[in-house]
Amino acid sequence: MSAKSLRPSPVAPTVDLEREGKRHGFLRLPYSRDDSAWGSVMIPIAVVRNGSGPVALLTGGNHGDEYEGPLALFDLARTLDPRQVSGTVIIVPAMNYPAFRTGTRTSPIDKGNMNRTFPGRPDGTVTEKIADYFQRELLPRADIVLDFHSGGRTLDFVPFCAAHILPDKAQEAKAFAAVEAFSAPYSMSMLEIDAVGMFDTAAEEMGKVFVTTELGGGGTSRAETVRIARRGAANLLRHAGILEGEVERERTRWLDMPSGDCFSFAEHDGMIEPMVDLGGAVERGEVVARIHDITRTGGEPHEIRAKLSGMLAARHFPGLVKAGDCAAVVAVMLD
Ligand code: ZN
């Protein structure tokens, strides 16, 4: 990192990250604009600290249209009692707060996709400044990081907790142990199709134990997926020795995304017909979705076929699809 990029972050926390007890406050980022000349973006943060034990960083709203994480984390911030904690829990329920407020994946201010912006810049766009604060101020404090995702408006997933295959096998083993403790219905050994700029990559490159999720989607949440998120956050903290009590283990089924063949992309615009539902078994070559021409009658539908055998782990959510959209993700069942 160049000396120029080491200028201090413009983000000012309104809470002391080191103090004992529970604090609710904001990461305040100055943002001068038409409706607020000396205004700020106010990103909610809670810090719960009891002694000098391990530090967990829990984040949601990395994408602004995914709700299980924010629901679980606003709730945890409200209810977590410092007397139950040994160490520190830093909770940011909505990382890309401008995007969260508009219910969009990316920021309405600069179109920034938080998970493609790391390491960010202290002198960049609003999204870059938030990413830079996480990169240089919050991530270095953490021993373990949980970043909640769901499918957002355009994708829907079977609920899983995930970690990545890593070059450091000891770090990878710690991450998979944390995934197992989260106890989602599915656990995923995850391959990224576009890892550059991800929060995940930033945390992993710092040697942190990093765990993520995909818990549903469609731009909303479900009772079941929110329960999974709440239990998972508590389980992760128990697993890390930060929250008192035993991990509430539930049966989890391990899935793998071994290659780019997991993904099927639409090559036509039109109306998508699911041929397999989420969680359904899929054979290699099977038609998982069809795309129908909506400009005229009489055309044959375009078939989207699975490139490997496994289970349908994700699907395009809206009824209409465009060429280039991710139509389906097939994961391989490991057990
Ligand atoms: Zn996401």
At residue 6, the pLDDT reads: 73
**Domain enclosing residue 305, as ranges:** 260-333
Please tell me the distance between residue 198's alpha carbon and the centre of ligand 1 in angstroms: 10
Among 199, 225, 256, the domain boundary falls at 256
| Residue 139 CB contacts under 8 Å (≥ 6 apart), including other chains | 57, 145, 202, 203, 206, 208
Please tell me the distance between residue 90's alpha carbon and the centre of ligand 1 in angstroms: 20
Reported as a single tens digit per residue, the pLDDT across 231-273 is: 999 999 999 999 999 999 999 999 999 899 999 999 999 999 9
Whole-Å CA distances, 252 to 36, 184, 209: 48, 6, 20
Residues 152 and 182 in one domain: yes
Residues 274 and 249 in one domain: no
At residue 291, the pLDDT reads: 98
Residues 231 and 284 in one domain: no
The domain total for the chain is 2
Q: How confident is the model at residue 3 (pLDDT cuts 50, 70, 90)?
A: very low
Residues 233 and 280 in one domain: no
Whether residue 193 is predicted with pLDDT greater than 80 in this model: the reply is no
pTM: 0.96
Among 205, 226, 256, the domain boundary falls at 256
Q: How far is Cα 213 from Cα 146, in angstroms, rounded to an integer?
A: 8
Among 256, 273, 296, the domain boundary falls at 256
What number of helices (H) and strands (E) belong to the chain?
A: 6, 19
Residues 242 and 265 in one domain: no
Please tell me the distance between residue 196's alpha carbon and the centre of ligand 1 in angstroms: 15
**For residue 283, what is the domain's CATH number?**
2.40.50.100
Q: How confident is the model at residue 4 (pLDDT cuts 50, 70, 90)?
A: low
Report H helices in the chain.
Answer: 68-79, 97-102, 126-133, 169-182, 199-205, 223-239
Whether residue 190 is predicted with pLDDT greater than 90 in this model: the reply is no
| Residue 226 CB contacts under 8 Å (≥ 6 apart), including other chains | 67, 68, 71, 72
Reported as a single tens digit per residue, the pLDDT across 86-140 is: 999 999 999 999 999 999 999 999 999 999 999 999 999 999 999 999 999 999 9
At residue 103, the pLDDT reads: 98
At residue 5, the pLDDT reads: 54
Residues 248 and 271 in one domain: no
Residues 155 and 290 in one domain: no
Residues 252 and 268 in one domain: no
Q: How far is Cα 8 from Cα 287, in angstroms, rounded to an integer?
A: 53
Please tell me the distance between residue 115's alpha carbon and the centre of ligand 1 in angstroms: 8
Please tell me the distance between residue 298's alpha carbon and the centre of ligand 1 in angstroms: 38
Please tell me the distance between residue 68's alpha carbon and the centre of ligand 1 in angstroms: 11
Residues 14 and 133 in one domain: yes
